[in-house]
């Protein structure tokens, strides 16, 4: 099957040429990003339509989504994985309960989390693994150093950082090659110095929460916001979420509708 052309063309991320418009998978869980979705079959249809019909080749997930729920859904929906598909996951966050998130960056925990993600995804390697949050209680060099060791062992292909400042990117870069930075960016949070820093440093910038947790969808501005993000530079890759196939199609259609007006 030939997938339709997605807006804005591809981006090189973790060594693969993938769609700049990716899919964030946090919404494929229960309320509070806790437990399974109300309809797991619908969540599986979202994943399959995104990859096999809409041509999205960049999926973003985390072991904390559920926790563990979405990695398991991705395996059920998409394995064997197409060669063109990049699955990015994140480790370094624990979930005491619904809507509760705590960073945990102890090296032994990060190693165990990576091993568990490999099992859930039924994969020999995580193509792109982000440090979900920097744990202030653990030296940064110990956190990224453990991920680097897992990279040496072949269990991680590329290492990214999530929700970080320019200073933190600089500090981590003394220990690892930062393959991607994932920060929140939307109309309510438009000014992130890391976006320009990543442009200069040639680091892909993955914009999470691009629709402000759905607020811009209800306002009918999803296409405007996603197009604005895509226009910030070829290094920017938004990852909006979708909880149903119709929602996914509406997001992609909104961007395609505005694409002719975007400068080339």
pLDDT in tens, 86-127: 999 999 999 999 999 999 999 999 999 999 999 999 999 999
Could you identify the residue written with the tokens 């437990």? 35
Helix 107-121, helix 140-152: angle, nearest 10: 40
Token pair, residue 151, equals 């990279």
What are 38-80's pLDDT values in tens digits? 999 999 999 999 999 999 999 999 999 999 999 999 999 999 9
Reference 24, options 75, 53, 65; nearest CA is: 65
Whole-number percent of the chain with pLDDT over 90: 81
- Identify the band that residue 214 occupies on the pLDDT scale cut at 50, 70 and 90: low
Could you identify the residue written with the tokens 């509708």? 257
State how far the Cα of 243 lies from the Cα of 169, in Å rounded to an integer: 32
Q: In the predicted model, is pLDDT for residue 261 greater than 50?
A: no
Handedness of CA 171, 172, 178, 180 (dihedral sign): negative
Token pair, residue 166, equals 């320019």
Domains in the chain (CATH in brackets) are 10-258 (3.20.20.100)
Q: What share of the chain is helix, strand, coil (3-state, %, to 5)?
A: 40, 20, 40
- Identify the band that residue 217 occupies on the pLDDT scale cut at 50, 70 and 90: low
Q: In the predicted model, is pLDDT for residue 137 greater than 90?
A: yes
Q: In the predicted model, is pLDDT for residue 3 greater than 80?
A: no
Reference 129, options 114, 149, 115; nearest CA is: 114
Could you identify the residue written with the tokens 């249809």? 45
Could you identify the residue written with the tokens 């691009």? 210
Residue among 65, 130, 205, 208 flagged as catalytic: 65
Grouping H, G, I as helix, E, B as strand and the rest as coil, residue 100 is coil
Q: In the predicted model, is pLDDT for residue 6 greater than 80?
A: no
Provide the total of helices (H) and of strands (E) in the chain, helices listed first: 9, 12
Grouping H, G, I as helix, E, B as strand and the rest as coil, residue 188 is coil
Q: In the predicted model, is pLDDT for residue 5 greater than 80?
A: no
More confident residue, 178 or 259: 178
What per-residue string of b and e applies to 134-164 under the rule 16 or more CB within 10 Å gives b? bbeebebeebbebbbebbeeebbbbbbbbbb
Q: For residues 239, 244, 248 and 249, what is the CA-based torsion angle, rounded to 10 degrees?
A: 180
| Residue 109: active-site member | no
State how far the Cα of 50 lies from the Cα of 28, in Å rounded to an integer: 13
Q: What is the pLDDT of residue 2?
A: 43
Q: What's the mean pLDDT when you consider all of the chain?
A: 92
State how far the Cα of 191 lies from the Cα of 194, in Å rounded to an integer: 9
Q: What is the pLDDT of residue 227?
A: 85
Helix 69-78, helix 40-48: angle, nearest 10: 60
């Amino acid at each position: 099957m030939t997938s339709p052309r997605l807006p804005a063309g591809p981006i090189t991320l973790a060594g693969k040429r993938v769609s700049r418009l990716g899919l964030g998978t946090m919404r494929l869980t229960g309320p509070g990003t806790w437990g399974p979705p109300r309809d797991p079959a619908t969540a599986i249809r979202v994943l399959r339509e995104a990859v096999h019909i809409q041509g999205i080749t960049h999926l973003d997930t985390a072991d904390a989504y559920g926790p563990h729920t979405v990695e398991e859904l991705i395996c059920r929906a998409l394995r064997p994985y197409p060669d063109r598909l990049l699955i990015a996951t994140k480790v370094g966050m624990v979930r005491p309960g619904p809507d509760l998130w705590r960073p945990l960056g102890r090296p032994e925990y990060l190693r165990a989390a990576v091993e568990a993600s490999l099992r859930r995804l039924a994969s020999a390697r995580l193509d792109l693994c982000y440090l979900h949050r920097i744990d202030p209680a653990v030296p940064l060099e110990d956190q990224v150093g453990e991920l680097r060791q897992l990279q040496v062992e072949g269990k991680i292909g590329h290492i990214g950082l999530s929700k970080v400042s320019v200073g933190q990117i600089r500090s981590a870069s003394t220990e690892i090659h930062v393959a991607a930075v994932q920060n929140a960016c939307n109309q309510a949070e438009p000014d992130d110095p890391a976006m320009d820093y990543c442009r200069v440093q040639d680091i892909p910038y993955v914009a999470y929460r691009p629709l402000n947790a759905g607020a811009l969808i209800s306002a009918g501005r999803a296409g405007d916001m996603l197009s604005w993000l895509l226009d910030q530079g070829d290094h920017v890759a938004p990852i909006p979420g979708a909880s149903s196939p119709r929602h996914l199609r509406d997001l992609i259609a909104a961007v395609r509708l505005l694409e002719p007006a975007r400068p080339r």
